[in-house]
Structures are given as structure tokens and as C-alpha cells.
Chains A and B, each alone.
Chain A
Amino acid sequence: QSALTQPASVSGSPGQSITISCTGTSSDVGGYNYVSWYQQHPGKAPKLMIYDVSNRPSGVSNRFSGSKSGNTASLTISGLQAEDEADYYCSSYTSSSTSYVFGTGTKVTVL
């Protein structure tokens, strides 16, 4: 199974909005509303930020939102803050192997 494709890096100034894309196929992202997003700070375990494309777990800031169109899912961070600087990974269920696949990861830099 191939990893989902994400941009290597995205940057923005404090207060701005940024969007991270996650591109897969009809066997994963496009075929199911089972995309999740994780934030990972250096040396830490990933933290769930979005599940089932657009749902936020309790305790996650409403500055984080998710969406999907076709085979591409997106994570938008609005009102960018210094604490948002981290790596972000998408994940999706894949029917090609009845398993889970992660994205290549995106480093978000707050300028």
C-alpha cells in the first residue's frame, strides 16, 4: 500500500490560515469518510486532531477543521499560532488491503 501524498512543508504567519492537502485514491481517501489527522510535536506521540474527515475530538481547538473533495482531504488551521508549529499526518482506511495508511507528513512552520 502506498502512503498518502502530503506537501513536505507549509508555512504561514501568526493569525493567517493554512491548508494541508492529503491525496490518495478511490480505495482510501476517496472511497470512505475515514480520514483522520494527527499533530506531532518533536519527540512526542501523535495527537488526534480530526476524525472521520471533519470531526474534532473534545478538547481540540475549533481553529482546526477538515474537509474532503474526491480523493483529496484537507486540514485547515485558522488563526495560526506558534504552538501549531509541528508535523501533521493524515490517515485513511484503505480497502485495497483492509488496513490503514498514513500520509507522508507535512511540517508546518509559523513564520
Chain B
Amino acid sequence: QVQLQQWGAGLLKPSETLSLTCAVYGGSFSAYYWSWIRQPPGKGLEWIGEIDHSGSTNYNPSLKSRVTILIDRSNNQFSLKLISVTAAETAVYYCASRISGAAAGNWFDPWGQGTLVTVSS
């Protein structure tokens, strides 16, 4: 049973870099795609991107130029970096998993607890 626990800085100034990390507990680290999803306050969900155990990434085209997702296999962790953030990117950021391989799934389960990142001057 995979469990995700995430952390990172919760308050940023405009133009700074958002940095979050998600630790994976249980399950096989190589059996999933590891995703980041965000949700502005009172609004809907937006898929940011994902990485697999080999380091292959896939990003939302609207964020691709500013996003980097990295994997740390030795610690069963993956991370999100988003450069040049603006106030409009204030949101709860979630890490989530998606089954990979022959039985690849197109759904997200489980999810981390979420981290509120506020961008304000």
C-alpha cells in the first residue's frame, strides 16, 4: 500500500522558485508514475506533470518551460521545482501516483496530503 508524504516551503515571493518533495512509503518505487497536481483556493485541479522511475518526464504544456520534476531513487522521493512563480500560482500542491508498466493506469491514487504554497510580495 503506497503512502505519500510531502513537504516544502509554503510562502514565496513573486519570481521565486517553488520547491516541494514527496516521499514514497510502501509499494514498489519502480511500478508507478509520480505526479504533481495543484489546486488554487476554491478552484479546480490542474495536472502539472509526472516522472517515472527511470527519470522520464511528461509535463503540462502550459507549464513545461518552468517546471522540473526530479526523482531520487536512493531515498524513494521525487520533487517539483517551478521557477518564476506568480501570485496566480498560489495553490495547494499535491503529489500523487499512477500505476506504470503493462498494467498502466490512467488515474491518480493515492495522493499526498497537499501543501499550501502562497505566493505574495
Which A residues are closer than 8 A to B by beta carbons? 1, 3, 32, 34, 36, 38, 45-48, 51-52, 57, 89, 91-93, 97-105
Contact = CB atoms under 8 A, between A and B. Distances in A.
Interface in B19-69: 37, 43-47, 49, 58-62
A75 to B, nearest CB: 13
14 contacts: A1-B61, A45-B94, A45-B114, A46-B108, A48-B109, A51-B105, A52-B107, A91-B45, A91-B108, A92-B106, A97-B60, A99-B49, A100-B106, A100-B108
B108 A99 contact: no
How many interface residues does chain B have, given as a range? 20 to 34
Contacts, number: 65
A37 B58 CA distance: 22
Contact of B106 (A38, A51, A57, A105): A51
B44 A103 contact: yes
A97 B61 CA distance: 7
B106 A1 contact: no
Interface in B95-116: 105-114
